[in-house]
Structure 1
Amino acid sequence: MPKNSLLAAVFKPNVNVNLLSQTSFALLRVVVGMMIVHNGLDKLSNIESFSQAYVQVIGLPFPLFFSYVAALTELIGAPLLALGLLTRPAALGLFSTMCVAMYHHILVAGFSIPYLELSAVYAACFLFFAINGGGLFSTDALLANWLDASALSAQAKRVMNLEKVYEATSIVEPKVNA
């Protein structure tokens, strides 16, 4: 294998909707969804304390109300994300909760990476799913296929056409006149 094609294979992004990428998206969705559930349970176990220590500190009005909103977003949104059901709205709610958590961390500890890292990683994952949806191995995809098979196949055809265009442009090499 020539050196250039090996480097190209290493750096080439995955533009295919393939089994491996969709499986990894599903695995990430399930793991992140299941891991965030305990945060909602922790909040509900002592909601008044959470409200005073976290929500009131950042100056939000009605701290007890917003504490319940955060807890219920994590308790309802996380399993929905894991199942891939209503993935985008669930991920958007969880992303919003993590943005508030990051804001709290910055107010309390400044821009401290060790303090911010977990909420930032969660926020990035939730933003990914808010933008991309649940993927092919999600309840959303099953429902979309059931509701509108023609629209899903049209989308798959667009992706395949984009893939063909990408492959055609990556194969063409410029001519060098000697």
Structure 2
Amino acid sequence: MVSAFIHFLSFTQNYLDWVLVVVRVILAIVFGAHGWYKSFGKQGFQGSAIRFRQHGIPFPLFFSYVTSISQLIAVPLLLAGLMTRWVALMLLVEMTVATWAKFRENKIFDGADLPMSDWALCLLLIVLGPGNLSLDALF
């Protein structure tokens, strides 16, 4: 039983680099969509600032620009696996604030789940790095 489990772990280890590619692609899709919407969606930066103000985030217009632009910049970097740990750390900080804002409103089941999931995936990239299938692996 134990040897079968150890064999399973060594088998899955062979696919870790591909799993990290999938994590990077999923995060790029999610942050790309949200960054695009915050920037160019129906209400743009002003609409994002209004939502940030409703969530109690200080300097809402400033942070609507910061989060939108940083999320859009993160997309190609995540896809290429370039500066991955730094990008993941930046996004982790954003998701910490987003989760905190949702918890303040008692919306754990109505909005906090996505930033919490993104937070966990960012932490995974910070700890494990982007894997060998990345530009970071070349440097």
TM-score range with shorter-chain normalisation?
Answer: 0.7 to 0.9
Q: How does 1:57-68 map to 2 (within 5 A)?
A: 57-68=54-65
1:43 lines up with 2:41 in the alignment: no
Q: Any conservation in 2 of the 1:98–1:122 contact (CA below 8 Å)?
A: yes
User: 1:56-97: CA deviations, max 9, x gaps?
Assistant: 234433211111111011101132112100001111111111
Report which stretch shifted further, 11-20 or 130-139.
11-20
**Hey, what does 1:132 align to over in structure 2?**
128
Q: Any conservation in 2 of the 1:102–1:120 contact (CA below 8 Å)?
A: yes
Among 9, 14, 23, the alignment partner of 2:9 is 14
Q: Give percent identity, aligned residues only.
A: 29
Structure 2 counterpart SS, 1:113: coil
How many equivalent pairs are there?
Answer: 136
CA RMSD across the alignment: 2.3
Shift of 1:104: 1.7
Decide whether aligned partners of structure 1 residues 19 and 112 sit closer, same or farther in structure 2, where only a CA change above 3 A counts.
same
1:112 lines up with 2:108 in the alignment: yes
User: 1:91-147: CA deviations, max 9, x gaps?
Assistant: 111111111111121122x152342211111110011112221111111001x2xxx
Decide whether aligned partners of structure 1 residues 43 and 120 sit closer, same or farther in structure 2, where only a CA change above 3 A counts.
same
Once residues 8 and 88 of structure 2 are traced to their aligned partners in structure 1, the CA distance between those partners, rounded to angstroms, is 24
Q: How does 1:26-175 map to 2 (within 5 A)?
A: 26-45=21-40, 46-53=44-51, 55-108=52-105, 110-142=106-138, 144=139
Shift of 1:24: 1.5
Decide whether aligned partners of structure 1 residues 139 and 27 sit closer, same or farther in structure 2, where only a CA change above 3 A counts.
same
Segments of 5+ residues of structure 1 without an aligned counterpart are: 145-178
Shift of 1:16: 8.1
- TM-score, normalised to structure 1, is 0.67
Decide whether aligned partners of structure 1 residues 114 and 77 sit closer, same or farther in structure 2, where only a CA change above 3 A counts.
same
The structure with the largest alpha-carbon Rg is 1
Once residues 115 and 60 of structure 1 are traced to their aligned partners in structure 2, the CA distance between those partners, rounded to angstroms, is 16
Structure 2 counterpart SS, 1:56: helix
Letter in 1 for 2:34: N
- TM-score, normalised to structure 2, is 0.84
Once residues 135 and 19 of structure 2 are traced to their aligned partners in structure 1, the CA distance between those partners, rounded to angstroms, is 16
Quick one: higher RCO (CA 8 Å, sep 6+), 1 or 2?
2
